[in-house]
Each structure stands twice: as C-alpha cells, then as structure tokens.
Amino acid sequence: MSRRPFVRPVSRTRWYFKHPRYLRYMSREVTCVFIGAFTLLLLCAVERLSEGQAAYESFLAAIGGPWSALGLSIVLIFVVHNAISWFNVTPKALPVQIGEGFLPGRFIVAAHYAVWILISLAVLFFAGVL
Amino acid sequence: MNERMVQLDVLRYDPQVDDEPHFQHYEVPCKEEWVVLDALNAIKESIDPTLNYRWSCHMAVCGSCGMMINGEPRLSCHAFLRDFEGVIRVEPLANFPIERDLVTVADDFIDKLKRVKPYLIPGETRSIDEGEYIQTPAQLMKYRHFSMCINCMLCYAACPQYALQPLFLGPAAITLAHRYNLDSRDGGRDERQQVIATNEGVWECSFVGACSEVCPKAVDPAGALQQVKVASTLDWFREHLLPGDTK
Ligand code: SF4
Ligand code: FES
C-alpha cells in the first residue's frame, strides 16, 4: 500500500491568531519594540548630556510636551508588561531545590519584585527625588 | 446510566482516494462518564469501521491517543465528553503529517528522540561486583518530573516554533536530554550538548510556554528548555571568559 502523508499548511504571518495563548505570547514579544525605542531615547539623553548642560536642558524641553508624556506613558505600560510577564516565568528557568523539594515559585517571583523595587528606590534616591 | 447523543466532526483522510482531508459528521449515543476516545470507539464499532486512530492504554499512560480536540492538543482518553458543549471537532495532532484519518506520521519525533541519547551514559564505569549506581532521593527529585514524559507529542502539536521550523528538536526531546543531564549517575552531558545547545536545538525556542500548558503529565518542558539555555550560556562564559580553558 502506498503512503501519501498529507502535510497541513502553516500560515507564517497569521499563526498567532490560532490560539489565545499565542496572542498572549506575541503581546509579550512586541514589548521589545517599545523597550528598544526607549533605550534609544536614553542613549540620546546620554549623548546630549555629554554635550553640556545647555544641550541636555534643550533635550529635556524637547521631550517635555504632552505628546511625549503620552508616548512615554505607553512605553511605561509595555515595559511593566514585559517585566511582569518575565518575572512570572522565572521560577521555570531558575528553580531552587531545597533537599527533596523545591522552593515554591512565588518566592522566586517575589524576590524579583523585591529587587526591582529596591533598584527603583536607589535610582530615585540618587536622582534626588527621595 | 445516563446516555446522550454526542456530535463529532472528525477530520478524515484516505491517502488512496482523497487529495486533502475533510470533516465527517457523526452522531453517536454516549454515556455520561465517557471520554472522546470512547465516542470514537463507539463510532468505529457501530457506525463506521473505516475510521482510523491510535490508542492503547485508555489511561493516559501510553501516549498514543493524542489528537486536536476543539483545536487543543489533548489525550483523547483523558478528554471527558461532559466538559464539551455542542459539536466536538476532532483532528489529528497538529504539526505532524497525516498518515490516515487521525493517525499522524511520528517518524520525525522518534528520530529526534534518538538523537538526544535518551539513556544513561554512566559517568564512571562500575563492575557488577561493585554494585549498583547509588542515588539519593534529593538527587532523584532534581529530574523526576522531567522523567514523567509519555512521548505523547502534544507539546509538539502546541509549539508554534516547531510548526514554523520543523528542524527544531522540540520540547520533549530536549527535556529528555535535560532529564539525563541532571541525573547524578550520568556522564553524557557533553555528547548531548552537541545536539541540544544548537540553533536547531534549544536556541530555536522562544519560550512561548504552550508545551507546558498542554502537557498531560506536568513535565514542564518549557521549564526544562529555559534551564538548558541558562546552563548552555554558563558553558559559553566558562569557555570564553575563564582563563586556561581553550576548548
Ligand atoms: S513533555 Fe508532556 S506533552 Fe510533551 S511528549 Fe512528554 S508528556 Fe507529552
Ligand atoms: S490511550 Fe494511552 S494515553 Fe490515551
């Protein structure tokens, strides 16, 4: 008997509409675009800072308007979404075995949030906000 | 015992006559406590003996009855009819070629399993007189959940990376390699790394996590693959940044 296996076609451009879990994955992946854009903005800031106080202040003025506030808020939402979705999966990548059991994943996730908060506080402290 | 009519749309494909698969509608009286596999057996026994599908144990152990049930990779012996409403759509496991009806071609998966050397390669050779290789319960727990895999291939059917890049070694094979790498009695990690720490190995994985969501045995292949990435990255640092190692 001759075999003639049938291969079902896979859409390269629309596969993520096939299941909500794929859309959830894509929503995490697109955050990198916003994080990339914000990183570029930070690099520009550092560059202007190196050019002196006047250059840096004009840069701050340029990004100070309501539209950039809106844009930065959107970026912030995506950055937070990225951080939360990655923090929540860290127990999978970094399991901590204690004797014959494993440390419950929520402690590993909580440790990430704790470090995040500490670093944020340190940044605010050095920036003179706190 | 309560009985009710259950409707199923089953994907059929006969390589002798069909150019492509098509759905066939069945209505079959089923008992309340039945699973999808029971409904298929009832169809085959009393309605349509030409229907083809694989199964063996009927208790989520042999791993042969995987199918797409309403678009989700499931063991059909583990999918209770009472959890479904309306017409149940049954298709062969996604991402594998269809041999006939619900039977898929599993050769690719079997080849990949072989490539990762899924067996103990003892780190030290012991003569029989020296006795068995001893392992503590803590050493066992390190890999135990990864050893629960029943090779059902549901994780491959759920993985979009495998769908887009069929060369990808895939979740279960890499997980099994990791299971042996974590085994205190094993010394074969270097050999397996050649296969799994590659572009078509673990680095094809982008951590969608679908494999772990569909795994019927809570093996957590997504976890295993991320751990392989961490370990392989540490290898790279050791090789390139530590002095004295010129491997
Ligand atoms: S890892 Fe889980 S889903 Fe994948 S083959 Fe093994 S038991 Fe099945
Ligand atoms: S028949 Fe064995 S796993 Fe379903």
Q: How many domains, in total, are found in chain B?
A: 2
Closest residue of A to B229, CA-based?
A: A93
B142 and B198 fall within a common domain: yes
List of domains in chain A: 12-93 (1.20.1300.10), 94-130 (no CATH)
What pairs with residue B7 in β-bridges?
B27
Pocket test for ligand 1, best of B72, B145, B152 (most atoms within 8 A of CB): B152
| Tens of pLDDT, residues B191-202 | 999 999 999 999
ipTM: 0.89
| Tens of pLDDT, residues A9-61 | 999 999 999 999 999 999 999 999 999 999 999 999 999 999 999 999 999 88
Three-state secondary structure call for residue B30: strand
How far are the Cα atoms of A40, A65, A86, B136, B235 from residue A43, in angstroms, in the given order? Answer: 5, 19, 24, 52, 31
B85 and B177 fall within a common domain: no
pTM: 0.92
B129 and B9 fall within a common domain: no
Using CB atoms, which residue from B71, B98, B229 is nearest to A19?
B71
B186 and B198 fall within a common domain: yes
Mean pLDDT of A95-113: 95
* CATH number, position B114: 1.10.1060.10
Mean pLDDT of B229-239: 94
Three-state secondary structure call for residue B12: strand
Q: Which domain holds residue B60?
A: 3-104
Give Cα A122 distance to the centre of its chain.
20
Residue B24 is assigned to a structural domain of this protein: yes
B158 and B124 fall within a common domain: yes
DSSP H or E stretch at residue A97: strand A97-98
What gap in Å lies between CA B161 and CA B196, rounded to an integer?
Answer: 15
Could you say which of B73, B104, B135 is where a domain stops? B104
* CATH number, position B61: 3.10.20.30
Task: Provide the pLDDT for residue A1.
Answer: 62
Task: Provide the pLDDT for residue A19.
Answer: 94
B76 and B130 fall within a common domain: no
Q: What 8-state DSSP symbol labels residue B161? A: H
B68 and B116 fall within a common domain: no
